[in-house]
Amino acid sequence: MKAIAYTRFGDAEVMSLQELPDPLIGPDHVLVDVRAAGVNPVDCKIRAGYLQGLLPHHLPLIPGWDVAGVVRAVGVGVYDWKPGDEVLAYARKDHVQFGTCAESVSVPDRMIARKPSTVDFVTAGALPLAGLTALQSLKATGIGSGDVVLVHAAAGGVGHLQVQIARELGASRVIGTASPRNHDFVRSLGAEPVAYGDALVDAVAEIVGGDGLVDVVVDNAGGLAFDQSLQLVRDRARMTSIVDGARARENGVVNTWARPDAGQTQWLVDLVAAGKLRVEVQQTFPLAEAVKAHKLLEGGHVRGKVVLTV
C-alpha cells in the first residue's frame, strides 16, 4: 500500500509517500480502506518527536489517528462488522507506528463507529479525535443544564465542536474566544464571540454580568488564556485544559486526553447526520500532499479541520 511515513523525527519535510506492506489483521481488528484521515495538532507533535516520552514509538512511522473508510476484511474474532461497511474511528493504539495516513489501516473493532450514509467521508474523517476531545473535556467539567460556558479557541478544530456540543449538553450560554475575523463563524455556531488579549477578563465579565464569572471553562489555547480563565471560572474543578497538563494539575484544573470510545463516536456522528453538529473543514489535501497539510496546521489560524483524502 501507499502511505505517508517518516524514518526520523523533525519538521514536515521528513514525511514522504512510501510503498509499505499492507497491515496485518489481528483477531479483533478490522482492515479499513481509508477514504479520509483528519490531521490534528498531535500528529505534528508526534512527528517532531515531542511525545516520545509518553507513548512507545516505532519507525518507520505512519502518522494519523482519525479515519473514515470502508471495511475490506475483519479478524477471526470480529462479528459486528463485515466487508463493505462504512465506518469511522479515533484509531489511537498503544504503540505509535501504524497510523491512518495510508491507503489502508488495521483498527481494533472496539474503536469503530458506523458512518451514516448521509455523512460524507471527509466530514466523518475530520470528526473522531476533535469530537471526542470536545465531548470528553466538557463531560469532565460536569457540564449540565443552565451552565454558562467559556470555550477558548472556539473557531479551531476542537473548539468549534465544543461550542455546539456544550449547547447539546444543556449549556444556557456559550462564550467563545476567537480572532475578530472568526467572530461571525463563532456566532453562527451558537456562541457569543469575544476577542483574545489582555482585555479578555473584563470583556467576559461584561458579557456575563453579575459576578462576572462563568460555570465552565474549556481551555484549548493555554498561555495567557489559561491564566485569565483562573480568574473567570467559579470553581477550578470545572475548568479543563487539553494544552498544559502540568499547569492544570498544579492549579486544580482537570487535564483531559481523549480516549477512543466507539459509543461516543457514534453519538457524535449521529448528531452530524441529524443536522445538530456542524464539522467545519477548511481544506482537504490528497494523501501525497500531507506535508502541505501539516505546514498549514502548524501555521495556526486554521478554522475547523484539515483532512487528507485517499
DSSP string of 79-147, one letter each residue? -S--TT-EEEEE---SSEEE-SSBSEEEEEGGGEEEPPTTS-HHHHHHSHHHHHHHHHHHHHTT--TT-
pLDDT at res. 244: 84
CA dihedral 80, 84, 88, 94 (to 10 degrees): 60
Is the torsion defined by CA of 25, 78, 33, 40 positive or negative?
Answer: negative
Give the C-alpha separation, 229 to 177, whole Å: 11
> C-alpha grid cell for residue 152?
477558548
pLDDT digits (tens, 9 = 90+) for 247-299: 999 999 999 999 999 999 999 999 999 999 999 999 999 999 999 999 999 99
pLDDT at res. 82: 98
pLDDT at res. 106: 98
> Is the peptide bond prior to 60 cis by the omega test (within 30 degrees of 0)?
yes
Residues 142, 118 contacting (CB under 8 angstroms): no
CA dihedral 131, 94, 34, 279 (to 10 degrees): 10
Give the C-alpha separation, 152 to 154, whole Å: 5
pLDDT at res. 45: 97
pLDDT digits (tens, 9 = 90+) for 2-49: 999 999 999 999 999 999 999 999 999 999 999 999 999 999 999 999
